Amino acid sequence: MKTPRKPLIIPIFIPHFGCPHQCIFCNQQSITGASGSDASGAIPSETEIHSIIHQYLEFKKDRSWTEVSFFGGNFLGLAPANIVGLLDQVAPFVASGQINGIRFSTRPDTIDKNRLDLIRPYPVSTVELGVQSMNARVLNQSHRGHTAKDTLSAVALLKKENCQIGLQMMTGLPGDNDTLCLETARQIIGLKPDFVRIYPTLVLAGSPLAVAYKAGKYRPQSLEASVDLLKKLYLLFQENQIEVIRMGLQASESLDDPATVLAGPYHPALGHLVFSKILLDTAIEKIRKKTASAKKTANDTVTLTVHPKSLSRMQGLNKTNLDILKQLFGVQHIDLKTDTALDKDAVRVN
């Protein structure tokens, strides 16, 4: 089952419910902005779920694919009665044609024959697995409570179902490094998921990692190092025709609060920074080749052409990419043009 690249996702949060482990990096209240009973994992009521769905459907517009997604917790870690209860509340919207499917995220070690038998009668269109890493040391130091073997088994079982498979990985976890992250990415590529998400590790207030950070036992990635690694990961997945649908947590008022994110490579436009770096590197490489062959002078104007949707990415935040190129090549002016025929990661230099 293939879904359009930008479906309308209707989020239903079940924060921290169904999670048997306290991962070292996790504080679901910080991530979702939930509080009170929601933060402890209260199952949303039928009234709450239907209200959220109807609110989002008002803005459906021309989206050709719509999914209700259970985010934040470990969906298949819920009690069977709760799993069925939640699916029962959403399934009628699929039957009526108002939405196209149901999506949820869960741990690899909750995918087994019994649970898949339980959900098979329902219109589940997408399942995302919190893989995080394929390295045993990293998983152990992160207190994940599952193994890489669990991920292999989960994907093999899901491949037999009529659903899309998404795999989530993290960078900067305790015990991790760039080499291990790239190896995790290669193993994920070998599993041939439909898409991936990449989340840099943040030190969230109230998480076990915050304790380690304050004690000097954990050193988070810098934003610059994170962007550089994400660039490598994105290009590796792209080379293998696997779509990266998100890099970094969704920006929110909670995450923008410095009392929430104590340290780590958080940026509300992290994906934009990564794509800007990719385009900058491409532009530098092509300008170098062109100026070397044409022996251009410092007074020349360089024209860069990109896809219209990549214009702001080529400029960089506050036009920093253009400033870097001017200083690096000694040019006075850089003109930007657009061409819809180009790929979004391509740059043409004139």
Over residues 54-105, the pLDDT tens digits come to: 999 988 777 789 999 998 779 999 999 999 999 999 999 999 999 999 999 9
Indicate if the pLDDT at residue 126 is higher than 90: yes
DSSP 30-86: HHH---HHHHHTPPPPHHHHHHHHHHHHTT-TT-S-EEEEEESS-GGGS-HHHHHHH
Q: Is residue 339 part of a domain?
A: yes
Residue 254's pLDDT is: 83
The candidate with the shortest Cα–Cα distance to 221, out of 273, 276, 173, is: 173
Reduce the DSSP state of residue 18 to 3 states and report it.
Answer: coil
Count of helices and strands (H, E) across the chain: 14, 12
Q: Looking at the structure, do residues 73 and 213 belong to the same domain, yes or no?
A: yes
Residue 336's pLDDT is: 96
The candidate with the shortest Cα–Cα distance to 237, out of 279, 270, 194, is: 194
Q: Looking at the structure, do residues 142 and 239 belong to the same domain, yes or no?
A: yes
Looking at residues 207-223, what average pLDDT do you find?
96
Indicate if the pLDDT at residue 1 is higher than 70: no
The torsion of the CA quartet 250, 209, 22, 257, rounded to 10 degrees, works out to -40
Residue 72's pLDDT is: 79
Asked which of 245, 266, 287 is the last residue of a domain, the reply is 266
Greater confidence (56 vs 251) lies with 56
What average pLDDT does the chain have?
90
Residue 299 is part of which domain span? Answer: 275-349
Minimum mean pLDDT among 57-61, 136-140, 211-215, 341-345: which range?
Answer: 57-61
Indicate if the pLDDT at residue 35 is higher than 50: no
Indicate if the pLDDT at residue 31 is higher than 60: no
Q: Looking at the structure, do residues 175 and 209 belong to the same domain, yes or no?
A: yes
Over residues 155-167, the pLDDT tens digits come to: 999 999 989 999 9
Indicate if the pLDDT at residue 39 is higher than 50: no
β-strands 203-204, 261-263 pairing: antiparallel
- Percentage of the chain beyond pLDDT 70 is 91
Greater confidence (6 vs 101) lies with 101
- Percentage of the chain beyond pLDDT 90 is 77
Cα distance between residue 349 and residue 273, in whole Å: 21
Q: Is residue 3 part of a domain?
A: no
80-104 burial: b if 16+ Cβ within 10 Å, else e: eeebbebbebbbebbeeeebbbbbb
Indicate if the pLDDT at residue 295 is higher than 90: no
Minimum mean pLDDT among 142-146, 282-286, 295-299: which range?
Answer: 295-299
Cα distance between residue 56 and residue 51, in whole Å: 9
Indicate if the pLDDT at residue 319 is higher than 50: yes
Hey, which residues does 129 pair with through a beta bridge? Answer: 106, 167
Residue 18's pLDDT is: 61
CATH number for position 51 = 3.20.20.70
Q: Looking at the structure, do residues 203 and 54 belong to the same domain, yes or no?
A: yes
pLDDT grade, residue 290 (50/70/90)? confident
Q: Is residue 2 part of a domain?
A: no
Asked which of 216, 236, 266 is the last residue of a domain, the reply is 266
φ, ψ of residue 165 to 5 degrees: the values are: -120, 125
Cα distance between residue 347 and residue 341, in whole Å: 11
Q: Looking at the structure, do residues 42 and 151 belong to the same domain, yes or no?
A: yes
Asked which of 240, 266, 292 is the last residue of a domain, the reply is 266
Our count of domains for the chain comes to 2
Looking at residues 295-319, what average pLDDT do you find?
86
φ, ψ of residue 193 to 5 degrees: the values are: -75, 170
pLDDT grade, residue 37 (50/70/90)? very low
